[in-house]
Chain A
Amino acid sequence: MLHYLIRRLLAVIPLLLIVAVMAFGLIYLVPGDPAVAVAGESATPERVEEVRIELGLDGNFIEQFRRWASEVLHGDLGTSLFSDISVWDQIEARLPATMSLVVFGLVMALIVGIPLGVIAGLRQGTWVDRLLTVLATAGIAMPAFWLATLLILFFAVNRHLLPATGYIPFSESPWEWFRHMLLPGLAIGAASAAEVARQTRSGVVSVIGQDYIRTSRAMGLSRRSIAAKHVLKNAGVPIITVVGLQVGRIIGAGLVVEQMFAIPGLGQLTIAAVQSRDIPTIQGVVLVIGSIVLFTNLLVDVSYAYFSPKLRSS
């Protein structure tokens, strides 16, 4: 088990390095010359070169990367090119809103997706199964921005039941935080819940036909006990894999949903940074989001050990 954990942890290091190289390499994908953009249209070539040095864009790729990576390792993601605010301060200010979306989306995926998947799997072939499968397919097919539009129109604009925009920090008012996150959370979590429901259903279906389930039934175990202790745990690996994948999906979908609900999250910061070619901010955001996804995957890998005794014993 310890071996397994160490192996997974070590595997994260080269992945982080790849993410860092890709984040840094974004400079070379952005059209135009960032030094020219920052120096301004009237800048002399000498001033452009000065700015290039200030931005650390002088020297070859390896030198630039080494310098940048060293600063990042010291906790310095640089300063935004277009404000005097440090990239980390900007990310830190927006992280809570994005993580709230992630938490809402994941909770929804778990509390809606798993029960629906289990019900459909246990009633395989019945109308309940078919109905839930159709709903899950629709949930996956439904774009988050479309669902968000419907939710805003119905609950906020027409009925004034829930806020249409904004984010209130949890620390300021848990209730207001919940009210403000409900609609975006639903919009962004629906697809995740549907994905998890589908995966849970197929996991349950594959496990339910196994001999040990039949034996458990023969031993007189209750349906609920069989579902919770034997079916779900054995179907857990693919389910938790899908749940883990949702973190990246939710952050990605957040680019649109945050705009629609005026939520000050990483999505809004990313769009603004890309539009203004604010390279340090783009790099910082990519690095942070990449790291979040990597560590989520690590958690998922570690959780396999709980679901699979084989991994524990190896």
Chain B
Amino acid sequence: MRHSRKIVSALAASALVLAACSSDDDSGGSTDSVESASSDTDAAGTEAQPDDSVVATDAPDTSDAPDGSDAPVETDPPVPEVQSIGVGRSSVPVADDYDESGTFTWAYTVPVTSFDPHRGVSGFDQNWLFPVYDRLVYSSPDGGLEPMLATDWRIVDDGLGVEMDIREGVVFQDGTPLDAAAVKANLDRARSDEQSVLLPVLASLADVEVLDEFTVKLVLTGGLGPMLATLADRAGMIISPAAFDSPDLATQPVGTGPYMVEENRLGDRVIYTQFPDYWDPEVQRTEKIEFRVMRDDQTRLNALQANEIDMALVRQNQVGIAEGAGMEILAGNTPTFYNLSFNAEIPPFDDADVRLALQHAMDRALIAEGLFDGLCTAQIQHWPSGSFAYDSAFGSGLDVWDYNPDKAVELLEEAGFPDGFEFTVIVPSITGFQSIAEVLQDQFSEVGVTMNIRVVEGAQVSEEFLVAKSAEASIGSYSPSPDPDGVMTRLLLPDALGNPGHLSSDEVVALATEAANLVDTDERAEVYHELTQALIDLVPHSTPVCMQVRTEAFQPGVSGLDIYASGARDYRGVAVGS
């Protein structure tokens, strides 16, 4: 009897654990993405990792940069300090003995919502779009901007115009030749079509002029700095104009990329096959590519262990298991961070002392270590260490806003809250976010602040905090944007969507505007470093808890992999073992 009771207890316990593990925490993560209407997904929480335990670095493999013959242009940012995060590798150079007839199979958490780059509403669609659509500009793994469909560009009209030379001899997958008119048609559609999700990121693009068959001029109202990086992402993907009105564009894309969609099984997998007329056959190292949808973390790990896929996103708690099963790990920092945000129009968050007190009450390092096994980088800067905007001299900033409950209490007393105060934070119903909320609740209670947690469905966070502006605070994640300017325009400037209380300062606005209008990356970097200090002085309404780290497991033999500083998952030039 005693034995049977033990067995029943064990079964019940394992059932509970498995139920918890199988809960899908891949959704509703982003609360501040322009595409967050989909409440989509990924990241939730768990791609995080550390980086204070920095060890040796792997130089990113830049051999995959398209058309390596073209010299880097003046707008190329300096190669940032690529930091290993103590787990896996951030780059896997192409092996010599890869199988040209192989298939690379990758599993991801969420399916593509549309193969139309202008209309897909998920912030993660581009992962599925990269094989099919080349961009005007290529964002290399280290964040450098290199030629792709635009072979060269010149800044004109005092930074209010960019002339681009379009690559000659390129054809779309339907046989249509690429020319300047096609580029104009795409950019016009992306910046003016009613259903385009890219309107906000292309707001500063006033006009596109065709100068000759292979030259276009982009007329801007400002914001030149981020524009080129923007064109390295979805906004720069070029669709065959002949396919604009195709009812099948959402499922059967027509780009100029190295692979074409051979079969699209909705919600299951997309099978890509080589485009025979591709302009850069060097990067077509496999016969086929297959992207599969596996929402559940354990399912992806099972598929890896059963040798059914070559690579998949794994969570930090799975890294050890994957390594133990013979898998290798690709890992690196991403521009995505967990953040605690306040509505700075609602008291007491309009008081800088109160906001600062909570910064000192927050033990970021403990969260990064305790919740994420160290696989999340505790820092207060809004940019990842790989970004040119990151101020290496300033570092994580944990010594500036150090964990200091006594100081927090002092600041609260000065602000007129000697007995603390009470507020409610809304949190998406996702394990990663809720765990952070619970730890912060405990840490704030030590300084007398009672933080009530209200767990709501992912999209409701956006609605209450950003749209209705009724919530006092929220915990979420800031999803990556192709340029550091995205953090300002989407989160920190007074009219940013993610800033419901419109908190800012003249200095922050001036510096952000200056950084956005500069082209030279060194100059921009300097301004961003000044901006970091201005933000510290302001104590913004939204600050990072820690930067997420991406971890993917892959089978031995897979090569040609990189962690991209932009946060993109681009498998351009991937190869599989023979």
Query: Which residues of A come within 8 Å of B, CB atoms?
Result: 31-33, 36-42, 82-85, 89-90, 93-94, 97, 143, 145-146, 149, 152, 156-157, 160, 163-167, 256, 259-262, 264, 268-269, 271-272, 275-277
B223 within 8 A of A: no
The reply to whether B251 and A256 contact each other, CB–CB distance below 8 Å, is no
Complex: how many Å from CA A100 to CA B458?
A: 32
Residues of A within 8 A of B459 (CB): 32, 37, 276-277
| B503, chain A: closest CB distance, angstroms | 17
- Tell me the nearest residue of chain B to A167, going by C-beta: B268
4 nearest CB pairs, A to B: A264-B268, A84-B250, A164-B306, A93-B266
Complex: how many Å from CA A163 to CA B304?
A: 11
The reply to whether B467 and A260 contact each other, CB–CB distance below 8 Å, is no
Whether A259 touches B299, Cβ cut-off 8 Å, given contacts A38-B37, A83-B114, is yes
The reply to whether B296 and A260 contact each other, CB–CB distance below 8 Å, is yes
The reply to whether B267 and A268 contact each other, CB–CB distance below 8 Å, is yes
Residues of B within 8 A of A89 (CB): 266
The reply to whether A264 and B265 contact each other, CB–CB distance below 8 Å, is yes
Segment with Cβ contacts to A, from B13-21, B90-98, B140-148, B328-336: B13-21
Whether A262 touches B267, Cβ cut-off 8 Å, given contacts A85-B250, A145-B22, is no
Complex: how many Å from CA A272 to CA B268?
A: 12
Which of A89, A143, A261, A272 has the most chain B CB atoms closer than 10 A to its own CB? A272
Give which listed residue, A42, A143, A160, A163, contacts B15 with CB less than 8 A.
A143
Residues of A within 8 A of B460 (CB): 31-32
Can you offer 27 A-B residue contacts whose CB atoms are under 8 A?
Answer: A31-B460, A32-B457, A32-B459, A41-B34, A82-B37, A83-B113, A83-B121, A84-B114, A84-B116, A85-B266, A90-B266, A93-B267, A143-B19, A145-B22, A146-B15, A146-B18, A156-B306, A164-B308, A165-B306, A259-B22, A260-B22, A260-B298, A262-B293, A264-B267, A271-B24, A272-B111, A277-B457
Give which listed residue, B24, B266, B268, B467, contacts A41 with CB less than 8 A.
B467
B206 within 8 A of A: no
The reply to whether A82 and B24 contact each other, CB–CB distance below 8 Å, is no
Give which listed residue, B22, B113, B303, B467, contacts A82 with CB less than 8 A.
B113
B307 within 8 A of A: yes
Give which listed residue, B11, B24, B27, B302, contacts A157 with CB less than 8 A.
B302
Whether A32 touches B267, Cβ cut-off 8 Å, given contacts A84-B250, A165-B306, A275-B39, is no
Whether A164 touches B303, Cβ cut-off 8 Å, given contacts A31-B457, A83-B113, A264-B267, is yes
| A75, chain B: closest CB distance, angstroms | 17
The reply to whether A165 and B303 contact each other, CB–CB distance below 8 Å, is yes
Residues of A within 8 A of B466 (CB): 41
- Tell me the nearest residue of chain B to A90, going by C-beta: B266
B94-116 at interface with A (beta carbon < 8 Å): 107, 110-111, 113-114, 116
The reply to whether A93 and B265 contact each other, CB–CB distance below 8 Å, is yes
Query: Which residues of B come within 8 Å of A, CB atoms?
Result: 11, 14-15, 18-19, 22, 24, 27-28, 34, 36-41, 107, 110-111, 113-114, 116, 119-122, 200, 249-251, 265-269, 292-296, 298-299, 302-303, 305-309, 456-460, 462-463, 466-467, 497
| B15, chain A: closest CB distance, angstroms | 5
The reply to whether A41 and B22 contact each other, CB–CB distance below 8 Å, is no
Complex: how many Å from CA A143 to CA B20?
A: 14
| A268, chain B: closest CB distance, angstroms | 6
Complex: how many Å from CA A160 to CA B249?
A: 38
Residues of B within 8 A of A163 (CB): 306, 308
Residues of B within 8 A of A269 (CB): 267
Residues of A within 8 A of B22 (CB): 145, 256, 259-260
Complex: how many Å from CA A275 to CA B458?
A: 8
Whether A32 touches B463, Cβ cut-off 8 Å, given contacts A37-B39, A256-B22, A275-B39, is yes
Complex: how many Å from CA A145 to CA B24?
A: 14
| B245, chain A: closest CB distance, angstroms | 12
Complex: how many Å from CA A259 to CA B358?
A: 40
Complex: how many Å from CA A313 to CA B306?
A: 57
Residues of A within 8 A of B293 (CB): 262, 264, 268
Instruction: Beyond the given A84-B119, A145-B19, please list 9 additional residue pairs across the A-B interface where CB-CB is below 8 A.
Output: A41-B37, A82-B37, A90-B266, A149-B18, A165-B308, A166-B303, A261-B299, A264-B267, A269-B267
Give which listed residue, B113, B116, B294, contacts A262 with CB less than 8 A.
B294
| A172, chain B: closest CB distance, angstroms | 10
Residues of B within 8 A of A260 (CB): 22, 296, 298-299
- Tell me the nearest residue of chain B to A91, going by C-beta: B266
The reply to whether A271 and B295 contact each other, CB–CB distance below 8 Å, is yes
The reply to whether B497 and A41 contact each other, CB–CB distance below 8 Å, is yes
The reply to whether A165 and B294 contact each other, CB–CB distance below 8 Å, is yes
The reply to whether B14 and A146 contact each other, CB–CB distance below 8 Å, is yes
Which of B292, B302, B308, B497 has the most chain A CB atoms closer than 10 A to its own CB? B302
Complex: how many Å from CA A39 to CA B38?
A: 11
Complex: how many Å from CA A276 to CA B30?
A: 12
Residues of B within 8 A of A275 (CB): 24, 27-28, 39-41, 457-458
Complex: how many Å from CA A149 to CA B466?
A: 40
| B12, chain A: closest CB distance, angstroms | 10
Complex: how many Å from CA A163 to CA B309?
A: 11
Residues of A within 8 A of B307 (CB): 160
| A72, chain B: closest CB distance, angstroms | 21
The reply to whether A41 and B36 contact each other, CB–CB distance below 8 Å, is yes
Residues of A within 8 A of B110 (CB): 272
Residues of B within 8 A of A39 (CB): 37
- Tell me the nearest residue of chain A to B430, going by C-beta: A275
Residues of B within 8 A of A85 (CB): 114, 250-251, 266
Whether A262 touches B299, Cβ cut-off 8 Å, given contacts A268-B267, A276-B459, is yes
Whether A145 touches B38, Cβ cut-off 8 Å, given contacts A37-B463, A82-B113, A85-B266, is no
Residues of B within 8 A of A33 (CB): 463
Whether A262 touches B296, Cβ cut-off 8 Å, given contacts A85-B250, A164-B302, A256-B22, is yes
Residues of A within 8 A of B292 (CB): 165-166, 262
The reply to whether A272 and B267 contact each other, CB–CB distance below 8 Å, is yes
Residues of B within 8 A of A97 (CB): 268
Residues of A within 8 A of B38 (CB): 82, 276
- Tell me the nearest residue of chain A to B32, going by C-beta: A41
| B207, chain A: closest CB distance, angstroms | 23
Residues of A within 8 A of B15 (CB): 143, 146
The reply to whether B306 and A94 contact each other, CB–CB distance below 8 Å, is no
Which of A143, A146, A166 has the most chain B CB atoms closer than 10 A to its own CB? A166
Which of B14, B37, B497 has the most chain A CB atoms closer than 10 A to its own CB? B37
Complex: how many Å from CA A183 to CA B269?
A: 20
The reply to whether A94 and B302 contact each other, CB–CB distance below 8 Å, is no
Residues of B within 8 A of A152 (CB): 302
Complex: how many Å from CA A166 to CA B267?
A: 11
Complex: how many Å from CA A264 to CA B113?
A: 15
Which of A40, A85, A256 has the most chain B CB atoms closer than 10 A to its own CB? A40
Complex: how many Å from CA A85 to CA B243?
A: 16
| B439, chain A: closest CB distance, angstroms | 25
Residues of A within 8 A of B309 (CB): 165
Whether A164 touches B305, Cβ cut-off 8 Å, given contacts A41-B36, A83-B250, is yes
- Tell me the nearest residue of chain B to A157, going by C-beta: B305
Complex: how many Å from CA A163 to CA B467?
A: 45
| B8, chain A: closest CB distance, angstroms | 10
